[in-house]
C-alpha cells in the first residue's frame, strides 16, 4: 500500500494513495439531515470533528454515528410520492 504526501491547506499531509481525495465517498455526514456546514444549526458532532480537523490538519470521514438521520434526495421524494420505497442502504 502506497502513502502519498501532498500539501493540504498549506500543510504537508500523508494519506493512503488509494484514498486521497475520496473522504466524501465514505463520510456519513454527506448523507445526513443534520449536516449543515457553515451555519449555526450544523450538527454538534460534525462541528466538533471539523474543529479537530482544522486544529490538527487532519481529514476525518464519519464512519459510524449514533445520531445519523438519512437525508432525502429529490429522487427519494419523487419515489415516495410515486408510492415506492427509499432503497438506499
Ligand atoms: S449526526 Fe453524525 S452523520 Fe449526521 S452530521 Fe452529525 S456526525 Fe455526521
Domain extent listing, the chain: 22-81
Grid cell locating 76: 427519494
Confidence at residue 66, expressed as pLDDT on a 0 to 100 scale? 98
Q: How far is the CA of 31 from the centre of ligand 1 (A)?
A: 9
For residue 69, the ligand 1 atom closest to its alpha carbon is 4
Enter the pTM of the model: 0.82
Three cell numbers written together for 35: 449536516
pLDDT band at 11, cuts 50/70/90?
A: very high
Instruction: Please tell me the distance from the alpha carbon of residue 52 to that of residue 68, in angstroms, as a whole number.
Output: 19
> pLDDT digits over 18-66, tens only?
999 999 999 999 999 999 999 999 999 999 999 999 999 999 999 999 9
C-alpha to C-alpha distance for 16 and 3, rounded to whole angstroms: 5
Q: Which residue in 68, 22, 72 sits closest to 45, CA to CA?
A: 68
Over residues 62-82, the mean pLDDT reads 89
Cα(21) to ligand 1 centroid in Å equals 20
Amino acid at each position: 500500500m502506497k502513502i502519498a504526501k501532498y500539501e493540504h491547506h498549506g500543510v504537508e499531509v500523508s494519506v493512503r494513495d488509494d484514498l486521497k481525495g475520496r473522504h466524501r465517498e465514505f463520510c456519513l455526514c454527506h448523507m445526513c439531515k443534520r449536516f449543515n456546514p457553515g451555519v449555526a444549526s450544523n450538527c454538534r458532532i460534525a462541528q466538533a470533528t471539523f474543529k479537530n480537523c482544522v486544529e490538527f490538519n487532519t481529514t476525518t470521514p464519519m464512519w459510524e454515528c449514533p445520531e445519523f438521520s438519512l437525508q432525502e434526495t429529490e429522487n427519494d421524494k419523487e419515489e415516495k410520492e410515486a408510492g415506492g420505497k427509499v432503497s438506499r442502504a
